[in-house]
Amino acid sequence: MLKKERNYFNIITKVIILITFVILTKIYLNQEIFLKALAVETLKNTNVFSQPFLEIKFFISDFLNFNRIRKDYLNLKEENLRLSSEINSCNLTKEENEILKEALKIKEEKKWQLKEAKVILIDPLQLSGDFWINKGLASGLKEGMNVITLNEVLVGRLTQCFKNSCKGESIYKSGIKIGVEDLRSKVLAVLEKDFRGSFYLKLVPPLADIEINDILVTSSENPNYLKGLLVAKVKEKITDSKNPEKEYILEPFLNRLRLNEVLVITNFEP
């Protein structure tokens, strides 16, 4: 008799668990926006030790990329010497420009309106290339606005905005396409990211004048991005490539691992 009662009890418990699970699933799947905003807000508020964690995170990423950083440092040292010698001639041109600008009474062109924000969360699984910032609709941010670093390097654009936070997709998103322009030769092409994570140039015109270390900025053909934002530089030129479309390997200026403070361009909506 006792065994029978226990069996009934087990069955009832399992049925209750099943019903709870079905209700929970239904609520969970239908409340995407509410739950997302709640999760981000909670993580933002509870992540009180974020600054010390950030320092440790930077230390770990620097430690793991030590060889690359050393190589970059040596390259920068060389570049610094070269730039030092160029600065004198630039100063002369600058002075000449100032005089001409004053003479012609040219007004300073109005640039973008910027709003500072902090990256609070990034995709821990690195499958989407998404990031979250600590400002949202309450600060006047909207979907589609471009996000840049303090050095005007393109980070990405906002894709979903909540009251106090926004979600954005970075240029590291798989399958992203950005129209770019070579700053030196004005050649237009499309930047793409393959599934391995390498950036390369597509739709390059035949006999295009693109050299290693050429700087690429966003072109005016982009429906989602403003013109003139720094994107990448040409890292490698594969001349004997069997695939003519994958001739130029690029190195993005954005360091995903050091993403912290960003600026949102508020006067541009696609």
**Residue 113 binds another protein (CB under 8 A):** no
Name the minimum Å distance from CB 39 to another protein: 4
**Residue 143 binds another protein (CB under 8 A):** no
- Residue 99, φ and ψ in degrees, nearest 5: -65, -45
Question: Of the two residues 35 and 76, which places its CB atom closer to another protein in the complex?
Answer: 35
Question: Of the two residues 9 and 21, which places its CB atom closer to another protein in the complex?
Answer: 21
Name the minimum Å distance from CB 225 to another protein: 19
**Residue 76 binds another protein (CB under 8 A):** no
**Residue 190 binds another protein (CB under 8 A):** no
* Given 119, 130, 158, 216, the residue binding another protein (CB under 8 A): 130
The single residue listed with the structure tokens 């393109």 is 154
Going by C-alpha positions, the residue among 109, 134, 113, 161 that lies closest to residue 268 is: 113
The DSSP secondary structure of 172-212, one letter per residue, reads TSTT-EEEEEETTT--EEEEEE-TTS-EEEESPPTT----T
Question: Of the two residues 64 and 203, which places its CB atom closer to another protein in the complex?
Answer: 64
Name the minimum Å distance from CB 14 to another protein: 10
Going by C-alpha positions, the residue among 170, 168, 146, 241 that lies closest to residue 201 is: 241
CB atoms within 10 A of CB 193: 20
Question: Using an 8 Å Cβ cutoff, are 132 and 40 in contact?
Answer: yes
* Given 105, 125, 206, 223, the residue binding another protein (CB under 8 A): 125
Question: Of the two residues 124 and 244, which places its CB atom closer to another protein in the complex?
Answer: 124
Between CA 48 and CA 46 the distance in angstroms is 5
* Given 64, 69, 76, 138, the residue binding another protein (CB under 8 A): 64
In one-letter notation, the amino acid at residue 53 is F
List residues binding another protein (CB under 8 A).
17, 21, 24-25, 28-29, 32, 35-36, 39-40, 43, 47, 49-50, 53-54, 56-58, 60-61, 64, 121-128, 130, 132, 174-175, 194-197, 256-257
